[in-house]
Amino acid sequence: MIDIYTLFYHLKSCPEYFFKCPPLNRGAVPHTEVLLKDMYRKVHGDFSVQDAALPTLVNLWQYDENHLIAMQVGCWFFHHPFFAGKPDWVLGIDDFLNDELQSLSPYVQAREWVEEEDRVEEFIRLALRRCKVIPAGESALEAADRLEALDTLKRQDVLRGSQASYDRIREIRRKMAEQKAREAANVYGRE
């Protein structure tokens, strides 16, 4: 187990280098791929591991720049010594970088993962959950509750729901105003 604040400090100290995303050129090895393979080898605990033993990186061409930069920030995060030498976590980390970050990229800019307190904590908690790690000093229930309180996707659902409610109220008010205007016009038309 690790203290969440140790990882918090580590993630917030992400160097500017990880926010650079050179254009993807067909035939060239993408910058993100190099960072990912290096990070997977560190997590694996063996830098001589062949590429075939690492998660497949065939989808990088399909990701938008924001997602690629978020993945690079993830590479920085998983380079923390806590993750070194834990090969059982590689697949969970891969799922986090590909699936979790892909679903969050439309709502969270990559820089927000290191600049906004709630997003930093959400990033850490999502990553730890994929590794099946509970932060030190928390129970599984406390960790789940805290993550739920930070959940960007749930927040987006609530915002969509409240926007739909607001739109319905606005439409009802518009119809009531039209009805009132028609009734007023009818009164003047009868006189």
For residues 77-94, average pLDDT? 94
pLDDT of amino acid 56? 78
For residues 85-111, average pLDDT? 93
- Residue 111, judged by CB atoms within 10 A of its CB (0-12, 13-18, 19+), counts as middle
Q: For the chain, what are the domain ranges?
A: 4-150, 152-191
Question: What's the whole-model pTM score?
Answer: 0.77
pLDDT of amino acid 162? 65
Q: Give per-residue pLDDT as tens, 101-133.
A: 999 999 999 999 999 999 999 999 999 999 999
- Whether pLDDT at 147 is above 80: yes
